[in-house]
Amino acid sequence: MRKTTTVKVMAILCFSLIGSLALFLSARSASASPGYSDIYGIKLTLRYGDRKWEFRYPDIVYSDGFDEGIEGFEKDFRGRIMRERPFSCCYDLADAYGKLRQIAAQIECEPVNAKVKFFPDRKGKFAIKEDKKGRRVDIEKLYSQIKKSLSKGVSAEVEIVPKLIDPEITAKKLKRATAVRSEFSTDFSSSPPERKHNIALSLRQFNGLIVWPGEEVSFNAVVGPRTQERGYKVSKIIVGGEFVKGFGGGVCQSSTTLYNALLLADIKITEQHRHTLAISYVPPSFDAMVNISTADLKFLNDSGNFIFIKAWTEGNRAYVRIYGEKLVYTIKRRSTVLKVYEKPREKVVVDFEGKYRDIYEGERRVIIPSKPKIESMGELLYYKNGRIVKIKPIRRDVYMPLVGKEVVGTAKRPKR
């Protein structure tokens, strides 16, 4: 009796397994309809614009999830197959990463910066060449799209959409930098021809200068040595608190004109020096003395965009105009004399050498007036909608006194 029961149980299990296997093979056969028998008809097309790349067998390979076995079916508590689950079936691209890298190399490109040419003396001062965006293909993302499309078991088409890379310098950015940011001028009408020549020559070195964002500029590096070989003439310069003759006299007026234009353009000054003596063409604390060996004017373009410099002389004035992004405020200068010391008396000199033929015996004339020692302060006032929104102290200075010169004449008065 016990033996008969055992045989019956084994028969039932055997029939159950046979039924499950039959159902599995039947389901596999049905779900494999887009399988190996159809792989020759499967086509993958990748498109970018009017270009396309097509792949067929053997570049297309088949994977149908066979290793899942009967895990692709729902079973009862005895392990018997009850009904079919959706069976895993997909195609794939052989050596996908290698193929996609080759395609990406045909699509990708580096961004191209916009370019600008500056013509300071023309009516149309700026010529801007447009930028070009770069392209990058996200291979991981593209492969995921391909697998998803091929998992449907039919031919697929995938559009390649590369990521656009902006260049560092765009035409739009350059166009924003073409507004007049500031302009400043100084008068040199009382200067001799040699001094006027030196001012014009030194300013010419800055005319047309393009300064990149973050670039620091040295006045001495741009202008160079002030020598006779480079075209500079002899005129008065300040040495040791006195006016003496030397090559390049007047160049300090060029540096001072540039300095004030930079202040009004809100450009950062990194090096600046005062004159020993107060000068006449700008108020105290707004001068910028330079010499080739120990004193320079330096500035850093911290505006966030390019600046362009036009520098010239016209009539009896020196001009500097700075182009860049338009300021949101107006900047004005304020010079305050904090203290004036007692003015020294002029030094009396008898004209034994007869240099002053129009100063006769018994006459005295002040040739160079004395100047007192002064202390001063310079500030920048920032205006918006007609109101001061910020006051920025920039420097304090002490200018030494100038001992003038009074001449006692020795010339004979002409007879009438």
Q: Tens digits of per-residue pLDDT, 18-33?
A: 454 444 444 444 444 4
* Average pLDDT of the chain, as a whole number: 87
Degrees to nearest 5, angle at CA 371 with 245 and 353: 45
Return the pLDDT at 272.
97
| Architecture of the domain defined by 2-118+130-165 | Roll (3.10)
pLDDT of residue 24: 44
pLDDT band at 179 (very low <50, low <70, confident <90, very high): very high
**Greatest C-alpha distance within the chain:** 172
Domain ranges of the chain: 2-118+130-165, 177-327, 329-416
Confidence of residue 4 (pLDDT cuts 50, 70, 90): low
Number of H helices, E strands in the chain: 7, 26
pLDDT value of position 69: 41
| pLDDT score, position 240 | 55
Please tell me the distance from the alpha carbon of residue 27 to that of residue 118, in angstroms, as a whole number. Answer: 76
pLDDT score for 153: 83
> Angle at which helices 96-107 and 139-150 pack, to 10 degrees?
120
Contacts 24+ apart (CB under 8 A), 121-128: 121/207, 121/208, 121/310, 121/312, 125/178, 125/308, 125/310, 125/323, 126/174, 126/178, 126/308, 128/171, 128/174, 128/175
The β-bridge partners of 298 are: 218, 271
Judged against a pLDDT cut of 90, whether residue 203 lies above it is answered with yes
* CA–CA distance, 199 with 191 (Å, rounded to integer): 10
Q: Which CATH number fits the domain 329-416, given the four candidates 3.90.550, 2.20.230, 2.115.10, 2.40.50?
A: 2.20.230
Average pLDDT over residues 51-65: 86
- Provide the pLDDT for residue 91: 87
Residue 238 has pLDDT above 70, yes or no: no
Q: What is the pLDDT of residues 141-155, one digit of tens each?
A: 999 999 999 988 889
The whole-number average pLDDT for the span 179-183 is 98
Q: Which of 22-31, 79-88, 211-220 has the highest mean pLDDT?
A: 211-220
Enumerate the β-bridge partners of residue 392. Answer: 380
Cβ neighbours for 162, distance < 8 A, ≥ 6 positions apart: 48, 107, 108, 135, 136, 137, 138
What 8-state DSSP symbol labels residue 373?
-
Question: How does pLDDT run across 97-137, given as a tens digit for each residue?
Answer: 999 999 999 999 999 999 999 999 999 999 999 999 999 99
Question: What pLDDT score was predicted for residue 22?
Answer: 47
Q: Which is more confident, 233 or 239?
A: 233
pTM of the entire predicted model: 0.78
pLDDT at 70: 41
Range 149-177 average pLDDT? 94
Query: How confident is residue 248, by pLDDT bands cut at 50, 70 and 90?
Result: confident
pLDDT digits (tens, 9 = 90+) for 346-393: 999 999 998 999 999 989 999 989 999 999 999 999 999 999 999 999
Of 62-71, 72-81, 393-402, minimum mean pLDDT range: 62-71
pLDDT in tens, 280-336: 999 999 999 999 989 999 999 999 999 999 999 999 999 999 999 999 999 999 999
Please state, for a pLDDT cut of 90, what percent of the chain lies above it: 75
Q: In whole angstroms, give the CA distance from residue 180 to residue 188.
A: 24
Q: Mean pLDDT throughout 385-402?
A: 96
